[in-house]
Chains A and B, each alone.
Chain A
Amino acid sequence: MSVDTARAITVSELSTQPDARVTERRRRPSFTPYFLIIPSVAILVIAMGYPLVWQIVTSTQHFGLAQQFGQPAPFVWFDNYIKLAADPYMWTVILRSLAFCFVTAAVTMALGTLVALLMNVVNRVIRIVIQISLLLAWAMPVVAAMTVWNWLFDWRRGVVNWILTSIGLPFQDHNWLQDPISFFFVAMIIVVWMSVPFVAFSVYAGLTQVSGEVLEAAQMDGATASQRFFAIIVPIIRPVLGIVLLLQVIWDLRVFTQIKLLQDAGSIASETNLLGTYIYQLGTGSSDFGMASAVSIFVLVLTVAISAFYVRNMLKEDES
């Protein structure tokens, strides 16, 4: 295999012109790439194929607990989707999820980029200190992290309230999870805390590609810090920013574990549901699997729609 691979690499890399590559391919159709993707495709088809098909089919059925226990599931075709579209609560959850997703992703990107820039200007020791603390935060398993955060924000014994009260603010016995806005504020802090390390490391990696000489030259020419950042640094790290932002949006739109575990700690569930917890509540809670599947498919479509622009750009770059 590796011999074959090596030859294939050589062939494709030697022909530097895209046109030449195409002719190359036409002249010698190779089955090698297909063999190479077989394992990945196979595992995806096995583990994702059936569930995906099941979900699509179920979303067009009335599928409740009785169906799960063997009753035939009657097809209702698009009824589930129509009901969803007509349900104001669904729209509330969608808007809430989108708002949470965009705000959280934006804050994460901004902070992550700032931390990356910071890592670039501080000395080695401090950089390593920052890196280790980011790594520790990154390495925290979600369940463990959520337990700690719930404990930090505990209304009666939480350190956060204690600190705020100590500096004279009226936060004694303040309940952070009771009010939806402050619930999402806490949720955002937690998600940002967990996601910034990945963004910071990726952007930092991108920054090492920025040449110091160019920046110095720009500074000589009188470019301000923000001009240098937006005119020189951003274009160079744009590919990194693009993929990282895309991933943040995808992950934040389907955020589930953090919200679910926060809801377990407090808050009124219907006022704090996002798409992930709503699907979970429909499926696991109410055993309304038809509807839960319909919402899942809808989320998939929504995510694809949001990311379509980025994906197209990325594919273009990928082709070039």
Chain B
Amino acid sequence: MSSIIRTPRVRASRVAYGVIGVVVALVWIFPVYWMANSALLPNVVLQSKTPVFLPFGGSFDNFAAVFQGGTFFPALGMSVIIALVVVAFCLFFAFLAALAISRFRFRGRKSFVLAILFIQMLPAEGLFIAQYKLMASVNLLNTVLGVSIIYIAAVVPFTIWMLRGFVAGIPAELEEAAMMDGLSRTQAFLRITFPLLAPGLVASGVYAFLQAWNEFTVALVVLQANADQTLPLWLRGFIRASASKAIDWGQVMAASTLVALPVIIFFLFVQGRMTSGLVSGAVKG
């Protein structure tokens, strides 16, 4: 990771950059911190006019209260399953399509590329009646499959676009060379091409995961039964229920933290690979 500029003068001003960097980091992390902080404080403290910046003397009571509802874990399960299904199918479909458009010139290629770009521009807010009718007609309301199909379709276009760059960035000569060394084509693909593609798959997988994890307007329409809720629906329901009575910010923040936590853990886990994924994706742009 070579830095752009290395003259002594600039080296001296690195301290300044460092300070700015820390400030930027603090600004961006503050809302996340505030959420976690509030989740650990009792509601009465949160209602006071002077904010309490450190959760000293805080407790996990808010989390306990959230778990008491008993609806968190089913929703977590639902969200995890949907996210996994979406990521798996989306990556597989998108990888195949990315191969097609980056390695082949074929009739209809341009239309296909245009279609995947334009399909992202359709506002979703007007589609829900049609999506409901579609899912009702094939009996997929309140099912993981129903929601997943819509999510995959919503995410696949961008994933194809992202993966296209990665696939094009891998020189086929590498595979050729491996085959000369005695590997079969399948082996060459699995041992040479696939590892090179991994960061790209991680980066696009993260994107698909985030979309599936966060989406809630489609879920609202397609998942109508209380037993089949995803986390965003659950969180929104929790907030609404709280707001209709005396809103308990502590519990609401605890619930928000619980929804964000799996994503944060997932992100930190794949962070290294994802950054390198974005780097190689940018080669082709």
Contact = CB atoms under 8 A, between A and B. Distances in A.
A adjacent to B, CB under 8 Å: yes
A123 B97 CA distance: 39
B151 to A, nearest CB: 9
What secondary structure prevails in chain B residues at the interface with A? Answer: helix
A131 B123 contact: no
A289 B125 CA distance: 11
A47 B153 contact: yes
B188 interface: yes
B185 A3 contact: yes
A122 interface: yes
A40 B264 contact: no
Scoring B2, B108, B171 by chain A CB atoms within 10 A of each residue's CB, the highest score goes to B2
A38 B28 CA distance: 41
Contacts of B24: 115, 118, 130, 133
B105 A3 contact: no
Interface string B26-39: 10110110110010
What secondary structure prevails in chain A residues at the interface with B? Answer: helix
A182 interface: no
B279 to A, nearest CB: 4
How many B residues are at the interface, by size bracket? 35 or more
Contacts of B127: 51-52, 55, 296
Contact of B119 (A44, A123, A193, A277): A44
B153 A126 contact: no
Interface stretch (A87-95, A102-110, A146-154): A146-154
A151 B249 contact: yes
A136 B268 CA distance: 9
Interface of A: 2-3, 5-10, 12-14, 21-22, 25, 30, 32-34, 36-37, 39-41, 43-44, 46-48, 50-52, 54-55, 58, 68, 115, 117-123, 126-127, 129-145, 147-149, 151-152, 156-157, 159, 162, 193, 196-197, 201-202, 204-212, 215-216, 219, 233, 237-240, 242-243, 247, 250, 254, 256-257, 275-277, 279-280, 283-284, 289, 292-293, 295-296, 299-300, 303-304, 307, 311, 315, 317-318
15 contacts: A37-B112, A43-B152, A50-B133, A68-B129, A118-B20, A135-B267, A137-B31, A139-B210, A141-B235, A141-B256, A205-B282, A239-B284, A242-B285, A256-B217, A296-B123
Given A40-B156, A48-B122, A157-B51, 6 more contacts: A55-B122, A132-B25, A135-B267, A240-B285, A257-B216, A292-B126
* Nearest 6 interchain pairs by C-beta: A239-B285, A47-B153, A13-B172, A296-B126, A144-B256, A51-B130
